[in-house]
Amino acid sequence: MYVAVDDTDSLRGNCTTFLATEILSVLSKEMDLIGYPRLIRLNPAVPWKTRGNASLSMRFGKGRGKKTPVGSISGRDIFCFESATSYEPEEDHILDRIIPVIDRRREPDSDTGLIVSRRKPNPSLYWKGVRTILDKSAVEDEIERIGAFKFEAGCGRGIIGAACGMAWRPRASTLELLTYRPEARWGTERIFDPLSIREADRVLPSTFNSWEERTEKVAMVPGTPCPIMYGLRGNDPSELMKGKEIINSEPIERWMVFLTNQGTDDHIIYGAEELIPNRSYYVEGRIVKSRHISGGHVLTDMDTRYGRITVGAYEPSKEFRYLFDNLSEGDTIGVMGELREEPRTLNAEKVHVLGVSDKYEKVSNPICQSCGRTMESIGKGKGYRCRKCHTSAETPQTEKALRWIREGWYEPPAAARRHLSKPLKMTGTEPPLEFVNMRM
């Protein structure tokens, strides 16, 4: 039986993943967890999301095959099985167990949606959910088609995310080990050793987005009042377990490993016929000009097949902004990012510098070919003339300028990356230059 839930968190605290552990705490006493619990990030450009726009999906039944430890809740180990028998729990029984948990834990301003189903929705629903904005009516039609049961609170908008998360069939995936604080410490300052996180990042090659080596900053500890202590992301479950032992933090009350679509770039649309705001695209174009605006942000205009587009690189992306300072008119780039509606900007997540144009700078006024003297300017835009020989020239002496930019991929520091954005580390790519405090 598949169970999916969304929209239970708030900017004030709580989080959907913590609710997933509460559901597991109840249901795992009566039935088995089949496969890892799933944390599915959906369209990051949705205007009304609280934080990471995540939904949760789990499968319960009677397990068979390999048994794998996936977490611990209040000292009780949680396992998952690689497959299930034909036995299916009753929908009403699961709803009776889960709804009180949701009522107790959801935030008052959340619009929770819960779906329980023997069948998964069509996988196309996931791709629509991660790349577009769906109407609730379209999702409800699919819920009815598969014969699923649902529960809603508030306006029930969470039904959309729950259905899209349940529909996910991974083409690519990663893992995240999330640890949770005792409830008495929620909202207080987190206590941890940054150097232990640096050590985990250095000795566990499959982990990502936990430590920013360039600026020596932690990227895996949230700053919100939510229950999470930290989230360690990677591709190897054994390395995540090692990381939990390496990282020194305040005591944790529970932990859980989730299968996720984080770091997959699933949200990026390629080759779109038109650009619609509140979606994320890969767009190529030719640089026109860049400018700085208040707040430390950089805006860059580029000409594309869709017309002129403004690319935004904002202050939280830190040294990533310097890339745009070093681009010049005529350079060609590809940009991955969210198209904001107002102001209409393509907010850069990653940039591929495709071509760097040659630039020339003036060395001196031209030299007279007759007498060897340096010519004099006869006025702005009017050229040059030799006072002695009266010969003329239109342009000065130039030489090829040194460009502090190279072709290749560039990305923001780890703390400024989106959950879904695939780190260059995972592609085996390194930026040809790193702009750290303008040291290149």
If one counts the domains in the chain, the total is: 4
Whether residues 234 and 144 fall in one domain:
no
Q: Which range (5-9, 143-147, 232-236, 383-387) has the least confidence? A: 5-9
SS3 (DSSP) at 100: helix
CATH of the domain at 213: 3.90.600.20
Average pLDDT, the chain: 92
Whether residues 273 and 419 fall in one domain:
yes
Q: Which range (180-194, 278-292, 363-377) has the least confidence? A: 363-377
Whether residues 348 and 256 fall in one domain:
no
Confidence at residue 104, expressed as pLDDT on a 0 to 100 scale: 84
Any domain includes 158? yes
Any domain includes 435? no
Q: What percent of the chain is modeled with pLDDT above 90?
A: 78
User: Of 208, 229, 260, which one is at a domain's C-terminal end?
Assistant: 260
Whether residues 329 and 237 fall in one domain:
no
Looking at the predicted structure, is the pLDDT value of residue 439 above 50? no
Any domain includes 434? no
Looking at the predicted structure, is the pLDDT value of residue 12 above 70? no
Assess contact for 371 and 398: CB atoms under 8 A.
Answer: no
Using alpha carbons, list the distances in angstroms from residue 115 to 5, 139, 415: 6, 11, 33
Any domain includes 437? no
Looking at the predicted structure, is the pLDDT value of residue 8 above 90? no
Any domain includes 439? no
Pick from 377, 353, 356: nearest CA to 366: 377
Confidence at residue 225, expressed as pLDDT on a 0 to 100 scale: 86
Pick from 195, 179, 200: nearest CA to 250: 179
Burial classification of residue 324, based on how many CB atoms lie within 10 Å of its CB (0-12 exposed, 13-18 middle, 19 or more buried): buried
Confidence of residue 437 (pLDDT cuts 50, 70, 90): low
Whether residues 49 and 92 fall in one domain:
yes
Confidence at residue 258, expressed as pLDDT on a 0 to 100 scale: 98
CATH of the domain at 311: 2.40.50.1010
Q: State how far the Cα of 148 lies from the Cα of 37, in Å rounded to an integer.
A: 19
> How many CB atoms within 10 Å of residue 335?
23
Whether residues 66 and 159 fall in one domain:
yes
Confidence at residue 440, expressed as pLDDT on a 0 to 100 scale: 41
Confidence at residue 33, expressed as pLDDT on a 0 to 100 scale: 97
Range of the domain at 379: 360-400
Whether residues 150 and 124 fall in one domain:
yes
Looking from the CA of 328 toward its CB, the CA atoms found within 13 Å total 11
Confidence at residue 372, expressed as pLDDT on a 0 to 100 scale: 87
Any domain includes 305? yes
- CA 116, 122, 123 angle in degrees (round to 5)? 105
Looking at the predicted structure, is the pLDDT value of residue 438 above 70? no
User: Of 242, 260, 278, which one is at a domain's C-terminal end?
Assistant: 260
pTM to 2 decimal places: 0.91
Confidence of residue 134 (pLDDT cuts 50, 70, 90): very high
Average pLDDT over residues 12-40: 90
Summarised one tens digit per residue, pLDDT across range 371-415 is 889 999 998 889 999 998 889 998 898 888 888 899 999 999 999
Looking at the predicted structure, is the pLDDT value of residue 101 above 80? yes
Q: State how far the Cα of 196 lies from the Cα of 348, in Å rounded to an integer.
A: 31
DSSP state of 246: H
Whether residues 224 and 327 fall in one domain:
no
- What is the helix (H) or strand (E) element at residue 190, kind and residue range? none
CB < 8 Å & 24+ apart, contacts of 363-369: 363/396, 363/397, 363/398, 363/399, 364/396, 364/397, 365/396, 365/397, 366/393, 366/395, 366/396, 366/397, 367/397
Average pLDDT over residues 354-378: 91
How many residues in the chain?
440
Any domain includes 423? yes
CATH of the domain at 53: 3.30.70.2200
Average pLDDT over residues 285-311: 95
User: Of 241, 260, 279, which one is at a domain's C-terminal end?
Assistant: 260
Whether residues 210 and 327 fall in one domain:
no
Assess contact for 52 and 139: CB atoms under 8 A.
Answer: no
Whether residues 292 and 368 fall in one domain:
no
Q: Which residue has the higher pLDDT, 13 or 390?
A: 390
Assess contact for 170 and 146: CB atoms under 8 A.
Answer: no
Pairing of the two strands 346-355 and 307-313: parallel
Any domain includes 436? no
Confidence at residue 275, expressed as pLDDT on a 0 to 100 scale: 97
> How many CB atoms within 10 Å of residue 227?
25
Whether residues 28 and 113 fall in one domain:
yes
Average pLDDT over residues 122-144: 94
Confidence of residue 418 (pLDDT cuts 50, 70, 90): very high
Residue type, 235: N
Confidence of residue 13 (pLDDT cuts 50, 70, 90): low
Whether residues 278 and 411 fall in one domain:
yes
